[in-house]
Amino acid sequence: MAGIIDTIKLAGVLVLALPAALAGLEFLLVRGETMTGTILLVLAVALVVIQRRLTTPSDVPGLAAKRVADVVTSDAETGSDEDSETATDRRRDGQP
């Protein structure tokens, strides 16, 4: 579920970043205004990077839930692997 929400957030940021990047490329390559083009390109890249790295207060509950789910999942997987290995070892040793 979080993957879909992250994709929607990225699409929202790209709606703002892509026009800035295209305008920056036009200023840089077509019009020859290097300063304006560079600033717009840096702004577009910064928007995407900040969106990916920045943690807002509304993201905290989701991050906490993800960490808890990872801990529970890793504990459950480790426990089931140990149980199956122990049972297999017992059978090899001749124990029921």
Alpha-carbon distance 12 to 46, whole Å?
14
Alpha-carbon distance 14 to 38, whole Å?
18
Q: Which two tokens stand for residue 19?
A: 């026009």
For the stretch 58-91, pLDDT in tens is 767 777 777 888 888 776 666 555 555 555 555 5
Global confidence as pTM: 0.56
Alpha-carbon distance 23 to 48, whole Å?
16
Q: Which two tokens stand for residue 60?
A: 């905290």
For the stretch 6-51, pLDDT in tens is 888 889 999 999 999 999 999 999 999 999 999 999 999 999 999 8
